[in-house]
């Protein structure tokens, strides 16, 4: 065994509000935690704009990454102790897979960028591909640490992220419908947002988890714990992740970056408000080193300078974002979508450019997918050793299986429905806009 994968003389312990303690037993894991690329995750919020709605949601991708590592470590420890492989190919746990599992768990989110998904959607970055690049690039500290194990170890860890690693148990631990990633973010997000929806019996789930040739299954006696996990996930998406105010702030962030891109991409003028670190992304020509310079604080520093920018829209959007001035929204469906152009016209008449102050956003979640090929279903083992798909034995899971839940919303400035003394609009304009809205939904006027 290489010296770097020998257990530490004294294990390192991190205190954690969710798991109480996180145990580090290998020097290579401790070295990975201390790399520049992993430490950058301290400066990226786990939940992006959700803190504008749930003020406690200030936790980082770093704390989540440690949490995923700890859950993976507990699973691996349980498998090592109770289900060790005796003969190659017997479908039980091979202890030699432990280190690649722990490294992949720790590094699974290392490629997330500033404000994560909002930035990703606008600038066509892909955090999973960038994660793999960070792991395999010889220019990163992460890669240098991984190569102390073996020359091919970075490729092995990257293949877990890419879901091509040959051991399906390892892949399932990190990425499946009930994995270390999902279990940590549900518990951690629930804790930090102050809601109870995301809580479930983690200890019981880990206790009934079993390895087999094609991945991981669960004992039938643990079905109710798995049900509880899925219902928690369902509730967290509906009540927290899809909250209209958080989505509104994402829209403002998106429009703010869009306007900045338009202004700074082609300008030759350079001053204190020029976002030099963002320019490669505006031009679509960034490299890994430039990507790793970005974090939430970098963006917010630029936003603060733009609050005094001469461009009205950039100045207003930056102010709305930093000072938490969310847009309003209404739900709409296929029967009322035809009204959106009319609403945009009224918004334009009110003095707002619809390009920057309106948006449609669709958020739907599939709590449990039993049939899609790339989503392996959750399997329960019967007393006779046969496997049965979860929704076929659980009425609760069957009720939410393969059913998308969520909504479509239209976002707009609240100024067009709530008169503002500082805006010179006739009362008739407010009345006309309001006739299309009832109980938070878009309606045709005759329905009112």
CATH architecture for the domain at 3-239:
Orthogonal Bundle (1.10)
Q: Higher pLDDT residue, 141 or 363?
A: 141
| Token reading at 444 | 């045709």
Residue 425 has pLDDT above 50, yes or no: no
- Quote the pLDDT of residue 267: 82
Question: Are the C-beta atoms of residues 49 and 94 closer than 8 Å to each other?
Answer: no
Determine how many CB atoms are found less than 10 A away from the CB of residue 307: 17
Burial of 373 (0-12, 13-18, 19+ CB in 10 A): exposed
Residue 294 has pLDDT above 50, yes or no: yes
Q: Higher pLDDT residue, 371 or 216?
A: 216
The DSSP call for residue 52 is G
pLDDT in tens, 372-388: 555 789 999 998 889 99
| Token reading at 354 | 């619809």
Q: Give me the phi and psi of 246, to 5 degrees please.
A: -60, -45
Alpha-helical regions (H) of 194-337: 202-207, 223-236, 244-264, 279-282, 288-292, 296-306, 312-322
User: In the block, which residue shows the tokens 């992993």?
Assistant: 38
Q: Higher pLDDT residue, 205 or 426?
A: 205
CATH match for 329-376+407-448 among 1.20.1250.30, 1.20.1730.10, 3.40.50.300, 3.30.230.10: 1.20.1250.30
Once rounded to an integer, what is the mean pLDDT over residues 253-275? 93
pLDDT in tens, 176-225: 999 999 999 999 999 999 998 889 999 999 999 999 999 999 999 999 99
Once rounded to an integer, what is the mean pLDDT over residues 291-306? 97
- The model's confidence at residue 445, banded by pLDDT at 50, 70 and 90, is confident
Average pLDDT of the residues of the chain: 92
The structure's pTM equals: 0.93
Residue 134 has pLDDT above 90, yes or no: yes
Q: How far apart are the first and last CA of the chain?
A: 74
Residue 350 has pLDDT above 80, yes or no: yes
Query: Would the CATH topology of 3-239 be identical to that of 243-326?
Result: no
Q: Which CATH class is domain 243-326?
A: mainly alpha
Residue 233 has pLDDT above 90, yes or no: yes
Domain range summary for the chain, segments of one domain joined by +: 3-239, 243-326, 329-376+407-448
Instruction: State the pairing for strand pair 215-219/379-381.
Output: parallel
pLDDT in tens, 39-57: 999 999 999 999 999 999 9
Give the whole-number percent of the chain exceeding pLDDT 90.
79
- Provide the CB-side half-sphere exposure for 6 (13 A, CA): 6
- Quote the pLDDT of residue 419: 55
Helix (H, G, I), strand (E, B) or coil at 89: coil
Closest among 314, 328, 349, 376 to 432, alpha carbons compared: 349
Closest among 71, 63, 81 to 17, alpha carbons compared: 63
- The model's confidence at residue 393, banded by pLDDT at 50, 70 and 90, is very high
User: In the block, which residue shows the tokens 């704390």?
Assistant: 63
- Quote the pLDDT of residue 428: 52
- Quote the pLDDT of residue 447: 55
pLDDT in tens, 397-407: 999 888 888 89
- Rounded to the nearest 10 degrees, the angle between the axes of helix 127-136 and helix 153-161 is 170
Most confident of 313-317, 336-340, 385-389: 313-317
| Token reading at 140 | 């990163």
């Amino acid at each position: 065994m290489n010296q770097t994968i020998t257990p530490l003389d004294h294990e390192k312990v991190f205190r954690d509000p969710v798991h109480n303690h996180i145990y580090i037993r290998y020097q290579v894991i401790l070295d990975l935690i201390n790399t520049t690329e992993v430490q950058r995750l301290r400066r990226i919020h786990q939940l992006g704009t959700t803190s504008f709605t749930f003020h406690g949601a200030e936790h980082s991708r770093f704390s989540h990454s440690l949490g995923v590592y700890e859950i993976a470590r507990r699973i691996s420890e349980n498998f090592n102790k109770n289900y060790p492989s005796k003969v190659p190919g017997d479908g039980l746990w091979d202890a030699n897979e432990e280190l690649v599992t722990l490294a992949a768990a720790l590094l699974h989110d290392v490629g997330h960028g500033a404000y994560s998904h909002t930035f990703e959607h606008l600038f066509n970055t892909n955090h999973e591909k960038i994660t793999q690049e960070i792991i395999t690039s010889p220019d990163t500290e992460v890669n240098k640490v991984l190569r102390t194990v073996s020359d091919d170890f970075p490729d092995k860890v990257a293949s877990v992220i890419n879901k091509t690693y040959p051991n399906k148990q390892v892949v399932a631990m990190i990425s499946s419908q009930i994995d270390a990633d999902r279990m940590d973010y549900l518990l951690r997000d629930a804790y930090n947002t102050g809601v109870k929806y995301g809580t479930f019996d983690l200890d019981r789930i880990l206790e009934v988890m079993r390895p087999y040739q094609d991945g991981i299954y669960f004992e039938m006696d643990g079905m109710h714990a798995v049900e509880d996990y899925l219902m928690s996930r369902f509730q967290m998406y509906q009540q927290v992740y899809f909250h209209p105010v958080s989505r509104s702030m994402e829209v403002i962030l998106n429009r703010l970056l869009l306007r900045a891109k338009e202004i700074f991409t082609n300008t030759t003028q350079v001053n204190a408000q020029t976002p030099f670190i963002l320019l490669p992304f505006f031009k679509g020509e960034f490299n890994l080193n430039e990507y790793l310079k970005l974090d939430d604080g970098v963006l917010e520093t630029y936003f603060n300078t733009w609050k005094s920018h001469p461009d009205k829209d950039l100045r207003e959007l930056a102010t709305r974002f930093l000072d938490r001035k969310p847009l309003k929204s209404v739900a709409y469906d296929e029967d009322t979508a035809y009204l959106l152009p009319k609403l945009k016209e009224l918004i334009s008449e009110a003095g707002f450019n619809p390009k920057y102050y309106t948006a449609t956003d669709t958020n739907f979640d599939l709590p449990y997918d039993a049939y899609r090929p790339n989503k392996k279903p959750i399997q329960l083992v019967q007393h006779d050793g046969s496997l049965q798909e979860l929704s076929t034995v659980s009425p609760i899971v069957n009720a939410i299986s393969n059913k998308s839940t969520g909504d479509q919303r239209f976002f707009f400035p609240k100024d067009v429905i709530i008169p503002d003394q500082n805006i010179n609009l006739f009362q008739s304009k407010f009345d006309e806009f309001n006739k299309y809205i009832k109980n938070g939904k878009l309606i045709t006027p005759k329905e009112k």
